[in-house]
Structure formats: structure tokens, C-alpha cells
Amino acid sequence: MKIIRVEPIPLRLPFASPFKISQGEAREMLDVLVVRVHTDEGLIGVGETQAWRRQGSAETLVNLIRTVEDYFEPILLGRSPFDIAGTLHALNETTYNTLYAQAAVGDALYDIVGRALGVPVHALLGGECRDRVRVGALLTMKRTEEELLESAQGFYARGFRHFGLKIGVAPAIDLKNVIALRQHFGDNIVLRVDANAALSYDALSLLKKLEPYDIDAAEQLVAIWDLAGLAALSRATAIPIMADESVSTEHSLLDVIRQRAATVVQTKIAKNGGIYRVLRLWHLAAAAGMRIYPGNHPSTSVATAAVAQICAAWPMPLMEGVFAVGVSGALAADVVTNPIVPENGEIAVPTGPGLGVELDMDRIASLRIDR
């Protein structure tokens, strides 16, 4: 079996409501690149990445498409889709650190191999260790405390018990929101906070005020380059520190580990280069005694399924990550005929061959922006 075509499909999906984090304006739309890899035997694999722009990533659909078409496709043509490790190594040698583009291509190769063998991707990664994965709900920034509590209560009614709260604009408001959530839900929820690298070492004052409210983890408080600052915060607070934007490759995770900058790591399919590279990061983090938080940028069921497949094959504990944020209500549209939908705060791992999801080509046609 040989690869004969690589087809990037740029999409623009609406958010169900404005999606606001600490940096930038609230987002109304999400730019997604779906990649279809075609073979000479008629099998087609699919992968997803996002043009997600914030500290640590400056991707656009234009540059993702150019990378896939101009640099990746010439390497992929004629190769076996089973040669996943060798292919990804070649792609990275050609255009180093193009992890967002590599993610969609690499995951499409896994999808092809699973389809060719008639097994889900987790069978290729070591077998099924779990068939359901508990996920967390992401609480984006709202205009008022009442709106925040309404959003959280909606998730709680759907069975979610783990919440990630966006912080990082105004410490007084951040503290007020944490207090409101803890008073409203008591000990019935696990609460984490995420500053998306918007704070400085002054964040220690906020962390000290948050300590009485049982925060399970504080994510990426300072800039991605300030590992010394992250490490200093980790030593100074009782709240476990999570690294996200600071971790792209194995080298960056090694730096976090060496400096004891965090005890939790979040991975994302697009940010970290897809299934193959995410799994390598998990093994490295586990060896260092770090907790693993499966994440994603807002994404469709395609990238959600990719993380679910890794979770299914992982034999050790996992935190309840927000990798299903897109399909949990953040996005107003999906692109598959069998969408992943959380039930009681969990998602069922797809059991079909490959990633276990099928593109809805009519929906794709309505959302693509190149025609």
C-alpha cells in the first residue's frame, strides 16, 4: 500500500458562544485543517489540526496548507502509511518543529493503518486499558459571575465534576470567581485554573489567596520562556503547577523536568505533533513522576478521537483533561457522521477501525473556506 495524495481541507467552524481566554479578544470562529491521506488501495485516513493563535503558536490555515502541500506531500508520496515513525522523522527533518502540521498527517497515517487492519488505533498503541474516559469541562471567561455559575451549572447537570477555569486578566476577579465556584459546588467538584501564560511571578500573591480553595492544579501561569519563574512558583505554593504552552517537544519537557518547574503536564494533539509524539511525551512525563492531563485546543470529533485512542491504550492513571472541550459544547458544529458526545462527564472510546470516526462530507463542504 502506497500514499498517492495528501488533501488538506481548511474549515472555519463557529463557536457556540464567544470563546475567551486571558490573551486576545473573544473568538467567534475556529480555524481547523482536516487532512485526508489517500492510498492506492482506496483507503483514506483523516487527521485534524487547528490554526490556534496564542503565546506559543502562530499558526494560520495558509501556512499549514503550504507546509502540507509544498513540503510534506513530496515526502509522503509513494511511502507506505505503515511507516509512521520514519515518515514523521523525515517531515521533522524537512521543516523542523512544524508540529501543528505534522499532527494532522501523522494521525491520518494511524487512521489508515487501523482501517487496513480492521482495528481501532488504541490496538496499535498497546491495546485497550479503558473503554471510557472521564473528561473535564472548560470554563471560559465570562462578563459576570452569574454567567460563569450558569455555565458551570450546565456542565454539572450533564455529569461533569472536573472544571478548568480560565484566569489571568484581573487577580481580584479571578479570586472572586474561584470563591463563587467553590461556595456553589462545595467539595463536589475538582477545580483547576489556567492563566494561558498571561501572568508574571507576581502570580504568587494570587496563588496564596487561592490555596484555601483546594485548587487541584494551576496551569501555565507565566510566559512559556520563563521556566525559572514557573519553577519558583512551584516551590513557593502548595498548589501543583501544570505546564502547557511551555511544552512542545521532548526537549522542552525535559527542561521542565530538570528545573522542577511543574508536576503536571498538559499535551494537545496539534501543539505536540499528534498521537505519535504525544505518547512519547506521556512516557517521559510518567518516568519523571508527573501527572498527565490530556488536552486539546477546541477541536472536532476527529482530534477528540485521537486523544481518546491514546487514553484507551494508556495503562497508568490520567487526569480528567479538557481534550473534549470542542465536542462538550464549545463548538456549534462538528464534521463527522458519528460525533463524540460526552455522557455523564465521560466519553466512550470509539471502537471502529482507525480513529473510529467518519467524515461528513456534506458538512465539510458547507464549512470549508477554499471553495
Q: Quick one: 161 and 91 in the same domain? A: no
Answer whether residue 44 is part of any domain: yes
Give the Å distances, CA to CA, from 253 to 212, 319, 345: 29, 18, 29
Q: What is the CATH number of the domain that holds 257?
A: 3.20.20.120
Burial of residue 13 (number of CB atoms within 10 Å: 0-12, 13-18, 19+)? buried
Q: Quick one: 189 and 303 in the same domain? A: yes
Q: Over 80: is that where the pLDDT of 323 sits?
A: yes
Answer whether residue 354 is part of any domain: no
| C-alpha span between 310 and 285 (Å, rounded) | 15
**pLDDT grade for 35, boundaries at 50, 70 and 90:** very high
Q: Quick one: 184 and 204 in the same domain? A: yes
Q: Quick one: 179 and 288 in the same domain? A: yes
Q: Over 90: is that where the pLDDT of 25 sits?
A: no
Q: Quick one: 259 and 284 in the same domain? A: yes
Q: What is the CATH number of the domain that holds 7?
A: 3.30.390.10
Q: Quick check: pTM over 0.75?
A: yes
Answer whether residue 320 is part of any domain: yes
Q: Quick one: 309 and 198 in the same domain? A: yes
Q: Over 80: is that where the pLDDT of 56 sits?
A: no
The residues near 202 (Cβ < 8 Å, ≥ 6 apart) are: none
Residue 54 has a pLDDT of 80
Q: Over 90: is that where the pLDDT of 335 sits?
A: yes
Q: Quick one: 68 and 128 in the same domain? A: no
Residue 53 has a pLDDT of 82
As for how many domains the chain has, the answer is 2
Q: Quick one: 267 and 290 in the same domain? A: yes
Q: Quick one: 110 and 55 in the same domain? A: yes
Average pLDDT over residues 316-343: 96
* 164-181 pLDDT, tens digit each: 999 998 999 999 999 999
Answer whether residue 326 is part of any domain: yes
Average pLDDT over residues 306-316: 98
Nearest to 125 by CA among 290, 278, 291: 278
Answer whether residue 267 is part of any domain: yes
Owning domain of residue 59? 3-118+360-367
| C-alpha span between 89 and 96 (Å, rounded) | 10
Nearest to 15 by CA among 2, 30, 1, 33: 30
Q: Quick one: 280 and 151 in the same domain? A: yes
Q: How many CB atoms lie within 10 A of CB 90?
A: 14
Helix (H) or strand (E) holding 71: none
| C-alpha span between 162 and 267 (Å, rounded) | 17
Q: Quick one: 132 and 12 in the same domain? A: no
Average pLDDT over residues 324-350: 96
Q: Quick one: 155 and 200 in the same domain? A: yes
**Least confident interval from 23-32, 70-79, 81-90, 144-153:** 23-32
**pLDDT grade for 57, boundaries at 50, 70 and 90:** confident
* 124-141 pLDDT, tens digit each: 999 999 999 999 999 999
* 92-120 pLDDT, tens digit each: 999 999 999 999 999 999 999 999 999 99
Answer whether residue 151 is part of any domain: yes
Residue 71 has a pLDDT of 98
Residue 201 has a pLDDT of 82
Q: Over 80: is that where the pLDDT of 55 sits?
A: no
Q: How many CB atoms lie within 10 A of CB 243?
A: 27
| C-alpha span between 233 and 76 (Å, rounded) | 44
Answer whether residue 355 is part of any domain: no
Q: Over 90: is that where the pLDDT of 202 sits?
A: no
